Amino acid sequence: MRIKKAFYSVGILVVLSLLSLTGCGAIGQYLIESVPSLTGAAAAQGNMPAEDAPSVSPAAENDSAPAAPFTQGTVLDELESTLNGIYETVNPSVVSIQVTQKVSSMMQQLPFYGMMPQVPEEQYQQGAGSGFVWDKKGHIVTNYHVIENADKVRVVFADGTNVLAEVVGTDPDSDLAVLKVDVPAAQLHPVVLADSQQVRVGQLAVAIGNPFGLENTMTVGFVSAIGRSMPAQAAGTTGARYTIPDVIQTDAPINPGNSGGVLVNEKGEVIGVPSAIISPVQASVGIGFAIPSAIVQKVVPALIAEGKYTHAWLGISGTTLIPEVAQAMGLDENQRGALVITVQENGPADKAGLRSSDGEITVDGQTLPTGGDIIIAIAGNTVNTFDDLVANLARFSAGDTVTLTLIRNKAVREIEVTLGERPTSTEIVPVTPQPQDEPRTSQGTAWLGIMAMSMNAQLAEAMDLPADQQGVLVGQVQVGSPADKAGLRGSDKSVTLNGQEFAVGGDVIIAWNGEAIANMPELQARVRRSQPGDEVTLTILRNGRQQELVVTLEARP
């Protein structure tokens, strides 16, 4: 469960926004705060001058560097001195983020005679989170969910300076955002980043932020575990949710308002950004999570330079291979790897020829997929679990060609895949480039205004349709679009299939002017060949019943 923001209505009364995450029923719920991490110094990405990038400690390159020995006083004295030194060094770099968001509230108006109907009245909500200084140019890093949908953002420094900020870049998939403030460079104290890949269990972990709006608060603990994965906040065009890899777990108390702050080591270097906790009581119980600094180092420079970050995309869903499934596929029960469950149509994996699961077995009453490719290495790096695959994939960029080592029909083989750009949640049909042999019409690009995906057997089953049902499932209809005006309906519920969430229940487009539509590429091709103003008859399935809708296409806005 994620804490979207800490909202205040009276005093410091906190209203927590809670979002249940798939697959966490056995371990509680995530309270999302904010977290980032990946690898490579920011300056090395080529998006920021070296003198402006946060420095990386030389010790981060040598995890064998000995710690300074105690020379005087008691162990407690030295610990207190160390913690005080961390606070004095890091606190000036940590800021409070205050956001204002417009909301619509139904307020009753009482005229002199009688009562008028309820009408919307504009109101405001205030929220709070944390952030930290990135460079001397005034860039501030925080979590995406802290500033999501904010109409006004203020940054309050440790010395009390209060300034308005503008949002320069966001990346929901890593839950990171960059703000910009206009203050003198002498007042800005950039953080020092550690290499989160060198973090080890048992290391000191210190969180500094603004829990429950209490500014400049420090809490202390240890690194409890490394290599965790956490569902990203944003959902892609298919309805599937992506994963943030290499997340750091800590028992340092993390609470609402810590989002976007810092988790630092004994040297005061940032190892991660606090983002989530597992808790049955909506407050810290000693299990907190932070996005690793390696992800921050990779994402933030791109947000500063371009306002967005393009994630590499393979185009599959999958799971960790377990002994029962391995045996069902004729393999040794100790075989490890990532089992491919589904392959996104026309995605990088599909174009490279990866194969999805085509069978199933029942284990302890649960139906499990079998028969797909089993990825056991990527670019020479061993893949023992699906999380291993996600973590290694995060180290590449869109356009990179990587070699996947996999098992297919009990034989080991290698396949080269050119990674694509991860689809965003704002893409609307058509989403593919115009082919060279299909020139654009003189009137411009026709527009339908939906987000959708090809039907498959699992989606069909979830909607009580035949397993071989073909067509395009409408996930979302853009307000005011041709599809909206024609009455096309989007999905209104979600189901979890193989550990991922999919939106279902919407109209299924099965024909265009009487010609069958089997999948998304066919629908996209029809839209591309059309012109604004064309009237199109769509044959759809709604609640299992066939009907027709007439849509007048428009020019893309």
- Give the C-alpha distances (Å, rounded to integers) separating 51 from 42, 44, 96, 153, 524: 11, 11, 25, 27, 47
Selecting among 93, 145, 171, 491, the annotated active-site residue is: 145
Q: Is 224 noted as a catalytic residue in this protein?
A: no
Query: Is residue 191 within 8 Å of residue 54, measured between CB atoms?
Result: yes
Cβ pair 291, 244 in contact under 8 A: yes
Residue whose token pair is 């606070």? 87
- For 485, list phi and psi in degrees, rounded to 5: -65, -30
CA dihedral 118→124→125→128, nearest 10 degrees, is 170
The answer to whether the beta carbons of residues 52 and 137 sit under 8 Å apart is yes
Whether the CA torsion 300, 301, 302, 303 is positive or negative: it is positive
For the question of residue 356 being annotated catalytic, the response is no
Give the active site residue among 135, 171, 173, 175.
175
Q: Is 259 a catalytic residue?
A: yes
Reading phi first (left if > 0) and then psi (alpha if -120 to 50, else beta), residue 88 is in: alpha
H-run or E-run covering 246: strand 241-250
Residue 146 backbone phi and psi in degrees, to 5 = -70, -40
Structure tokens at 126: 């205030």
Considering the candidates 34, 259, 454, 530, report the single residue annotated as catalytic. 259
- Cα–Cα dist 537/548, whole Å: 6
Are the beta carbons of 42 and 53 closer than 8 angstroms?
yes
Residues assigned a catalytic role: 145, 175, 259
